[in-house]
Amino acid sequence: MEGLPLLGDKFPEVVVKTTKGTKKLPEDYKGKWFVLFSHPADFTPVCTTEFYAFQQRFDKFKELNAELIGLSIDQVFSHMKWIEWIKENLNESIEFPVIADDTGALAKTLGMISENKGTNTVRAVFIVDPKGIIRLIMYYPPEVGRDVDEILRALKALQVSDKEGVAMPHKWPNNELIGNKVILPPPANEEEKEKRLELLKNNKIEGYDWWLSFKELKE
């Protein structure tokens, strides 16, 4: 793969050391979604709040057939000691593996290290689907913690989009304009456009115009 991975690319095949043993990515997660997220360093305040938040929602990710994987360029023993500290002081057991990318090889491949932000990994998030395809990428600077609920929301939105063939509005399912409804794909040609306008005119579908139409999700 040349350059940094992009949306729609296959996640690079790598063997990594983790707190749960050696793992092959994406092979070991075939048939499941996984969320790989990097943090600048162990034993840092913002990262600790994020790890706590990810673990608090661990079961919610599981319900969506998704696994969590942490990563930083610290070594395994540092990860384990930090996880031990979280359990002893915050009463939360970290159940997901944390990659020890001590050479920085994977972090560099995934664009997790920015020369403008020092030598540690930034706060990157990769959501990868059951076929090993990268579906979402987020980058946050070290000084800004992520919203784990947004990552969970984005994961669910991707899954619904795939299943229903629709697009998801801002802040779905709590959009200011259309609530929990989802957006229909735009017409592909003039004929489909006219059909869409007719459906709107006869109240067969909802929408503001032929290019902004939406529907309720079926239970």
Q: Which residue ranges in the chain fall short of pLDDT 50?
A: 1
What confidence score (pLDDT) does residue 114 get? Answer: 75
- Ramachandran category for residue 3: left, alpha or beta (phi over 0 → left; psi -120 to 50 → alpha): left
Which listed residue (47, 125, 148, 157) is catalytic? 47
Query: 38 an active-site residue?
Result: no
Cα Rg of the chain (Å, integer)? 20
Q: Which amino acid is at 166?
A: V
Q: Which residue range(s) make up the domain with 176?
A: 165-219
Same structural domain, 186 and 130: no
Domain count, the chain: 2
Whether 118 is covered by a domain: the verdict is yes
Query: Tell me, what's the pLDDT at 1?
Result: 42
The pLDDT value recorded for residue 115 is: 73
Among residues 111, 146, 181, the one where a domain terminates is 146
pTM of the predicted protein model? 0.93
Q: Where are the beta strands (DSSP E) in the chain?
A: 14-18, 21-25, 33-38, 66-72, 98-100, 123-128, 134-140, 182-183, 206-209, 212-215
Distance CA 3, CA 68 (A): 25
